[in-house]
Amino acid sequence: MTGARRDSCDVAVIGAGMAGMATALFAAERGLSCIQVGNPGGILFASGLLDLFGVHPVAERRLWRSPYAAIAALAREQSDHPLARIDASSIRTAFEIFVAALGAAGLRYAPLGDRNRSVLTSIGTIKTTFGVPLSMVAGVDALEARPPCLLVDFRGLREFNARQIAESLGHRWPDLRHRRIEFPGTEAAPELYAAHLARALESRQTRERTIALVKPLLGDALAVGFPAVLGLARASEVHAAFEAGLEMPVFEIPTMPTSVPGLRLLGALETAVSARGVRRRHQASVRALAFDREAGTAALDVEGVPGVERVVARAVVLATGRFTGRGLTADRGQVRESILGIPVLQPASREAWHQRDFLDPSGHAVNRAGLAIDDAWRPLDADGKPVWPRLFAVGSILAHQDWMRSKCGSGLAISTAWAAMEQVARQLRGTGAG
Amino acid sequence: MSPALFQTALYASLALCSLGLVWRVSAWFRVRIGPDARTVALSQRVAALLRGGALALFSRRVFQLAGAVFLDLLLQRRLFANEKLRWLGHLLILTGFTLLLLMHALAAIVTAKLFQGYQPTLDPYLFLRNLSGAMVITGVGLLLFGRWRRQTGLPQARRPMDMAFVALLGFVLVSGFLLEAHKIASPRAFYRMSDQFIGSTDAGRLTPLRAVWASEFGVAFDDLKLPIDPRLLEQGRELHRSACASCHTKPVSAFVSYPMARVLAPVTDLLDTGRADAWLLYLHVFACFLGLAVLPFTLMFHLVAVPISLLVNAAAPNRDFSLAGRASRRALALDACVRCGICDLHCSVAPLARYLGNLGLLPAHKLQATAALAGGRLLGCEDVALRAADGAFLCTDCGRCTAHCPVGLDLEDLWEAGRGDLAAAGLPSPAQWVQAHPALAWAESLERGPAEHVDSGPDDLLAPLSADRRSFSRCVQCQTCTNVCPVVAHSMDSNHGIDLTPQKVMNLLRLGLRDLTLGSRMVWDCATCYQCQENCPAGVRVADIMCELRALGVRRLGAVRSLRESS
């Protein structure tokens, strides 16, 4: 490794999805120096809504109004689920800190409270979630009270159709109307893209022309819904300007990923961790990870555009995700952990990975495959011992959970990151003193 | 040598040199590079120089000028920052050459006036002359070694005259050393001197002196008895002190020519018979005169152009240059370029030059093409002109050539002007000729084109990303690249929109339809801002692929261009 660049830190976080970002954020909040490796683009698949825990048991598809009550039920019935290992007050604290950091970075959320909320989606379905961006919260209220309401869409924006939503919900919400308008300045464009509209609306002129187009269409409406294109970096300002201009509550409806709320979330998380001094290697990946058991450090070979860098860390957190995040890889025979080949809890054979029915409500066994951990969030080797005393794992790579069907993606990422970071801090204090 | 011949040759070569200098310097006001330069009259350019010079001399800028003379000219700090070895080589040549010129070539009017009792055969002059010559030779050796060591696989820019002049310089130095060595060893020279200062050429009478000169001054007498009697030496030394010592010190200090004299000793007699002293002198002197006469038309003209270029650039900040000033400065830059090739080493598109096999992309080569275009020599050969145009327009204006230029040329200004000339001459950029036809038409041409161009075998090696499905197989068509693309955003409000979005380009690659992308507006309008690549959730190198497709397009569409344009 002669001539290679070198760096060192307390905690190396591998992964830059929701779990990796939350881990880096919490590490920095605890005053630990942190290097984060990974491409954060996966966050673009997020909707901007923060689920905590929505469905339990998965097979019954039972929706819960209170996520905390659902987690309590989970803890009674399935104690090996990662969320069942964390007490409610820790989860509350983790979410409060996470949402406050996003707010400070320009992405403001409605106060969290104790209950799940129902949010209208761009295909006219209703999604149960927990944390809702301020720009969407008027939609939650409208969906509950169902007042006369107008949905607006733009010609050429193919991913959002107001008429489809209104017709899907018409039987339950008779005063839901829809209108299509021409987005100012795009008359010649055959197809529009949400992020470009969002950026265009950050210009006051485009905003005012749009508001002027919508105003005559309001009629008796008491709220107006738009596709989630109301600004990007300055979304709060754009949203406020729409409410002031239209003189009524305005809400965004999340569009299909990858979407503008995903871009906002990515931007806010990047701002939040960078502002806290996290050193990000965001166009890089870990090529090799080795432990020096005598020195008590881990060495990561980080491969990026400038070449290979050696990072020496006192603790390492795996937040590499599942198959799309490439934390797990599957071949014809089995599922493997990508970096170290840590044993993955999984069905005995490939035949047992999936149910016969693809849409089986109880989900598939392979979706619950993942890393087994001890009480300190450390992944276990084949002998059931921690792989390394200060190697931790968080997020969706953990076994015994099916976050998509439980509606607990963000909840899993944020809560496990918080709980694991508590252990990391405790372990590092131990080594620091010793 | 007869003084008449010497003087005639000297004045003739001086006259040729002066005429050459006038011609070359006048080019700084005559040569027009860039369409804007055509609007400026010669008088305006002269006036701009006078005004700029006066403004610089009578303002605080004069300190900048002094700084430029000291740091940039004498100490060569720009070269030092680039390459220490070449800096050392260049400094050795510059110092050695200057010393030789003043102390040796112009000895009669410089050294003899400054130092009383100057004789070329006395120390320290003897030693210093050897030292200076050795410095020049070592310097040239370092430069050649430096060039050899950083072989990039791409040929370096040079003109035929460049190497010829280096050879001539080497010849002057080698003939000089040979002449000196021969004169040290030559009995004939000894007798000529003894005749002049002792009035005798009688070998018997001069035996003591010859003993001294043979043993201590390296004269190769072939009729001297050995070993030499010490008493004879004592006698000889006395004679030496009275007749020779005022003009001669022991030539051991001539650390190059004295050993050479020892080596030449066995053949000295032969050389004496053949009058080597005369013809070596002729060769040496006439080589110098030849060098002087052709100097304005060789690489050595940089001795004039570089100092002036440095001073001009130090005289005013870039933004203060009027159009007339810039026009002259561009012409001056053509002469101040020493073709060192440092710019080529730092060029951002050098990989493209390698890939396309088009040296026209590299700055040092491009400068020569710019000069050829300005001189009307480029347009004659169409193929060369087309390649020069492709090269000039694939430049990304990253500015690294300017930043690294050891003589401080504003190359970006030159490139922009050159592109203007190319466009005016009907040689459009690849983006222009490619976009003259829709992507689909290009794909059809490729299909109908000659088989060897359709064969993508070599392309797969040279276009590694777009040929390897692993580089885009992770694409899930999520549209993020399109969403963050400023080019797509811009085309929303224009009638000249792009034809494909970035994610559609990736999809065509996934479908194995790469030929359809090569002429696409998206590929050619890509601003290379890397937003797509930075944001891609799947880690696809979208922007890198776009660059690669452009390079591939120049090559493959260029091959069917005539077919397309004739149809």
Q: What is the mean pLDDT of residues B65-72?
A: 89
Domain range for B202 is: 184-281
Q: Cα dist. A187→A153, A216, B72, B497 in Å? A: 15, 20, 57, 12
Q: Cα dist. A212→A224, B64, B347, B495, B536 in Å? A: 14, 59, 51, 25, 35
pLDDT of residue B352: 77
The torsion region of residue A253 among left (phi > 0), alpha (psi -120 to 50) and beta comes to: beta
Residues of chain A with CATH 3.40.50: 122-253
> Please, what is the Cα angle at A69 between A65 and A74, to 5 degrees?
115
**What sign for the dihedral angle of Cα B454, B455, B460, B463?**
negative
| Residue B304 resides in a domain | no
Which of B281, B309, B326 is where one domain is finished? B281
Query: Per-residue pLDDT tens for B116-166?
Result: 888 888 888 999 999 999 999 999 999 888 888 777 677 787 777 788 888
Instruction: Look at residue B230 and tell me whether its pLDDT is greater than 90.
Output: no
Question: B542 or B245: which carries more pLDDT confidence?
Answer: B542
AA letter at B256: V
- How far apart CA A129 and CA A116 sit, in angstroms, is 5
Task: Return the minimum-mean-pLDDT range out of A30-34, A216-220, B106-110.
Answer: B106-110
DSSP B418-441: HHHHHHHTT---HHHHHHTS-HHH
- How far apart CA B313 and CA A423 sit, in angstroms, is 63
Confidence of residue A21 (pLDDT cuts 50, 70, 90): very high
The answer to whether the beta carbons of residues A403 and A409 sit under 8 Å apart is yes
Confidence of residue B551 (pLDDT cuts 50, 70, 90): confident
Instruction: Look at residue A431 and tell me whether its pLDDT is greater than 80.
Output: no
- Chain A nearest CA to B542, separation (Å): 13
Residue of A37, A183, A196, A206 for testing the chain B interface, max B β-carbons within 10 Å: A196
Chain A segment 200-219 residues within 8 A of B by beta carbon are 200
Determine, for residues A41 and B493 on separate chains, whether the beta-carbon distance falls below 8 Å: no
Q: Which residues pair with A77 in a beta bridge?
A: none
pLDDT of residue B402: 93
Query: Per-residue pLDDT tens for B389-405?
Result: 888 888 888 889 999 99
| Residue B82 resides in a domain | no
B464 lies in the same domain as B362: no
Q: Is A246 helix (H, G, I), strand (E, B) or coil?
A: helix
B418 lies in the same domain as B499: no
Does residue A283 belong to the interface with chain B, where contact is any CB pair within 8 Å? yes
Does residue A75 belong to the interface with chain B, where contact is any CB pair within 8 Å? no
- How far apart CA B133 and CA B125 sit, in angstroms, is 12
Instruction: Look at residue A304 and tell me whether its pLDDT is greater than 90.
Output: no
| Residue B49 resides in a domain | no
B457 lies in the same domain as B541: yes
- How far apart CA B177 and CA B157 sit, in angstroms, is 31
B551 lies in the same domain as B445: yes
Q: What is the mean pLDDT of residues A25-48?
A: 94
Instruction: Look at residue A434 and tell me whether its pLDDT is greater than 80.
Output: no
Query: Per-residue pLDDT tens for B78-129?
Result: 899 888 999 999 999 999 999 999 989 988 888 888 888 888 888 889 999 9
Strands A250-253 and A279-281: unpaired
B398 lies in the same domain as B448: no
Q: What is the mean pLDDT of residues B242-263?
A: 90
Determine, for residues A196 and B483 on separate chains, whether the beta-carbon distance falls below 8 Å: yes
B521 lies in the same domain as B405: no
- How far apart CA A145 and CA A158 sit, in angstroms, is 29
Of B482, B501, B537, the CB nearest to A44: B537
| Residue B372 resides in a domain | yes
DSSP B499-542: SS-HHHHHHHHHTT-HHHHHT-HHHHH-----HHHHH-TT---H
Instruction: Look at residue B5 and tell me whether its pLDDT is greater than 60.
Output: yes
- Chain B nearest CA to A305, separation (Å): 11
**What sign for the dihedral angle of Cα B66, B70, B76, B80?**
negative
Determine, for residues B538 and A194 on separate chains, whether the beta-carbon distance falls below 8 Å: no
Confidence of residue B566 (pLDDT cuts 50, 70, 90): low
Cα atoms in the Cβ-side hemisphere of radius 13 Å centred on A109: 26
- How far apart CA A356 and CA A353 sit, in angstroms, is 10
pLDDT of residue B142: 92
B-chain residues near A190 (CB < 8 A): 497
Question: Which residues of chain B approach chain A closer than 8 Å at the C-beta?
Answer: 478-480, 482-484, 488-489, 491-495, 497, 501, 534-539
pLDDT of residue B25: 94
Going along B264-366, which residue ranges are E strands?
A: none
The answer to whether the beta carbons of residues B483 and A194 sit under 8 Å apart is yes
Q: A5-105+264-433: which CATH number, 3.30.365.10, 3.20.20.100, 3.40.50.10490, 3.50.50.60?
A: 3.50.50.60
| Residue B214 resides in a domain | yes
The phi and psi torsions of A203 (rounded to 5 degrees) equal: -85, 130
Closest Cα in chain A to B489: A196
B468 lies in the same domain as B415: no
Determine, for residues B478 and A257 on separate chains, whether the beta-carbon distance falls below 8 Å: yes
Residue of A193, A201, A256 for testing the chain B interface, max B β-carbons within 10 Å: A193
| Residue B148 resides in a domain | no
The answer to whether the beta carbons of residues A179 and A162 sit under 8 Å apart is yes
B346 lies in the same domain as B367: yes
- Chain A nearest CA to B156, separation (Å): 27
Of A42, A199, A282, the CB nearest to B537: A42
**CATH number corresponding to A122-253:** 3.40.50
| Residue B322 resides in a domain | no
Query: Per-residue pLDDT tens for B438-468?
Result: 888 899 888 887 655 444 455 566 677 888 8
Name every residue whose Cβ is closer than 8 Å to that of residue B183 and which is 6 or more positions away in sequence: B189, B277
B500 lies in the same domain as B454: yes
Residues of chain A with CATH 3.50.50.60: 5-105+264-433
Determine, for residues A258 and B483 on separate chains, whether the beta-carbon distance falls below 8 Å: yes
B188 lies in the same domain as B224: yes
Closest Cα in chain A to B480: A258
Q: Global pTM?
A: 0.69
Q: What is the mean pLDDT of residues B68-72?
A: 88
Query: Per-residue pLDDT tens for A233-288?
Result: 999 999 999 999 999 999 999 998 889 999 999 999 999 999 999 999 988 999 99
B52-81: burial string, b at 16+ Cβ within 10 Å, e else: beeebeeeebeebbeebeeebbeebebbbe
Q: What is the mean pLDDT of residues A177-186?
A: 94
- How far apart CA B254 and CA B127 sit, in angstroms, is 5
Determine, for residues B488 and A196 on separate chains, whether the beta-carbon distance falls below 8 Å: yes
pLDDT of residue A373: 97
Instruction: Look at residue A163 and tell me whether its pLDDT is greater than 90.
Output: yes
pLDDT of residue B336: 93
pLDDT of residue A433: 41
pLDDT of residue A1: 41
As separate numbers, helices (DSSP H) first and strands (DSSP E) second, chain B gives 35, 0
B474 lies in the same domain as B411: no
Determine, for residues B483 and A194 on separate chains, whether the beta-carbon distance falls below 8 Å: yes
| Residue B444 resides in a domain | yes
The interface predicted TM-score (ipTM) is: 0.78
pLDDT of residue B450: 67
Mean pLDDT of chain A: 94
Strand arrangement of the beta sheet that strand A149-154 belongs to: A176-181, A149-154, A223-227, A250-253
B343 lies in the same domain as B403: yes
Does residue A68 belong to the interface with chain B, where contact is any CB pair within 8 Å? no
Cα atoms in the Cβ-side hemisphere of radius 13 Å centred on A18: 31
Determine, for residues A45 and B478 on separate chains, whether the beta-carbon distance falls below 8 Å: yes
pLDDT of residue A3: 53
pLDDT of residue A395: 97
* Residue B290: other Cβ atoms inside 10 A: 17
B-chain residues near A304 (CB < 8 A): none
Q: Is A374 helix (H, G, I), strand (E, B) or coil?
A: coil
- How far apart CA B274 and CA B272 sit, in angstroms, is 5
* Residue B469: other Cβ atoms inside 10 A: 10
- Chain A nearest CA to B475, separation (Å): 11
Q: Percent of chain A scored above 90 by pLDDT?
A: 89
Query: Per-residue pLDDT tens for B200-226?
Result: 888 888 888 888 898 889 898 877 777
Determine, for residues A186 and B493 on separate chains, whether the beta-carbon distance falls below 8 Å: yes
The answer to whether the beta carbons of residues A345 and A365 sit under 8 Å apart is no
Strands A250-253 and A223-227: parallel
Q: Based on the structure, what is the number of domains in chain B?
A: 3
- How far apart CA A393 and CA A387 sit, in angstroms, is 11
pLDDT of residue B333: 94
Of A42, A200, A258, the CB nearest to B479: A258
Instruction: Look at residue A45 and tell me whether its pLDDT is greater than 60.
Output: yes
Does residue A158 belong to the interface with chain B, where contact is any CB pair within 8 Å? no
Question: A80 or B465: which carries more pLDDT confidence?
Answer: A80
Question: B68 or A74: which carries more pLDDT confidence?
Answer: A74
What H or E segment, with its residue span, contains residue A420?
A: helix A409-433
- How far apart CA A25 and CA B103 sit, in angstroms, is 73
